[in-house]
Structure 1
Amino acid sequence: MRARGSGPARALRFLAVAAGAVALAGCTIAAPGGGGSVRAPSSAGIIDGAWGDTGGVATASLTNGRFVSVANDTGNRVAEGTYVYTSRESVALDYFSLLRQTRIRANCVLANPTTLNCTNDSGQQFQLVRSAAVS
């Protein structure tokens, strides 16, 4: 999703998206056949690292189950929460938007090594791209 506008409005929009993504991080999904929850093996970490929104508004860090997003222009934290691997190449985000004061959940799937396709609990789709500057 490409943010429109500038300044606080863009940061607010990113925070809302980021907050939704983090909110889903605390969730697990049912395994096929009703066999319980799916958690990635401890060696999984393919999604861990730094990710930016496609509008260049903020950068999100996914590290050791923690999700933190900061505005690129100010460095201020705009969202924080958790994430959990639901498979080797997907995560559920569960986060809180500090700008909107809203809890957001999102599911993200690794489309390729540099792109995460995400859908928040409201059905809004967005992409995160791997940041080369921060890992």
Structure 2
Amino acid sequence: MKIRTSIALLAAAAALSACVDFGGSRPPPAMRASVQPQTGVEGNWSDANGLISTFQAGTFTTHTTDSNSVLASGTYSMVSANLIEINMTSLVRKTQSKINCALISPSQLNCTSDAGKQFSLNRR
């Protein structure tokens, strides 16, 4: 009986040691690419009225969400790491204006138009 018990214990130990990886038997699983938070202003932003503003490669557009009608367009430039200057033409009012925005977080822009109107944009 002792021989059977010893053989059973040795078999169990051998089976368990086969599950242990002492390194080198296979490469570790590939690391997943970490998702980096967006920086800068590139992308889509929304205001309190639900309008969407898109910043892409120096161009700026604002459009409605229901019909995707363009309300304004223009250009933007990064004055500094967190200050953006927008030169915009309103297609509705047929006026031009300059807007300065401060990137206060990766997901929020606080803006002031040259007429003094203040508003915020939130990253979508």
| Structure 2 residue corresponding to 1:78, chosen from 71, 96, 113 | 71
1:65 is matched with 58
Distance of 1:76 and 1:95 partners within structure 2:
16
Q: Are 1:46 and 2:10 counterparts? A: no
What SS class does the counterpart of residue 99 from structure 1 fall into?
coil
Matched-pair contact (CA < 8 Å) for 1:71–1:77: yes
Q: What's the CA shift for 1:55?
A: 2.0
Q: What's the CA shift for 1:62?
A: 0.4
| Structure 1 residue corresponding to 2:83, chosen from 67, 75, 90 | 90
Tell me which of the two structures has the higher relative contact order, counting C-alpha pairs closer than 8 angstroms and 6 or more residues apart. 1
**Following superposition of structure 1 onto structure 2, how do residues 26-41 of structure 1 map, counting pairs within 5 Å?**
none
Q: What's the CA shift for 1:119?
A: 0.3
Query: For structure 2, which runs of at least 5 residues remain unmatched after alignment?
Result: 1-38
| Structure 2 residue corresponding to 1:124, chosen from 117, 120, 124 | 117
2:32 is matched with none
Supply the RMSD in Å over aligned alpha carbons: 1.0
Q: Which string of whole-angstrom CA distances, capped at 9 and with x for unpartnered residues, describes residues 71-111 of structure 1?
A: 11211111000000000111000010001111011100011
2:23 is matched with none
Distance of 1:88 and 1:63 partners within structure 2:
16
Please, what TM-score do these two structures have when normalized by structure 2? 0.66
Distance of 1:69 and 1:123 partners within structure 2:
19
Larger radius of gyration: 2
Matched-pair contact (CA < 8 Å) for 1:52–1:130: yes
| Paired residues, number | 86
What SS class does the counterpart of residue 74 from structure 1 fall into?
coil
Distance of 1:67 and 1:123 partners within structure 2:
20
Query: For structure 1, which runs of at least 5 residues remain unmatched after alignment?
Result: 1-44
Matched-pair contact (CA < 8 Å) for 1:59–1:70: yes
Please, what TM-score do these two structures have when normalized by structure 1? 0.61
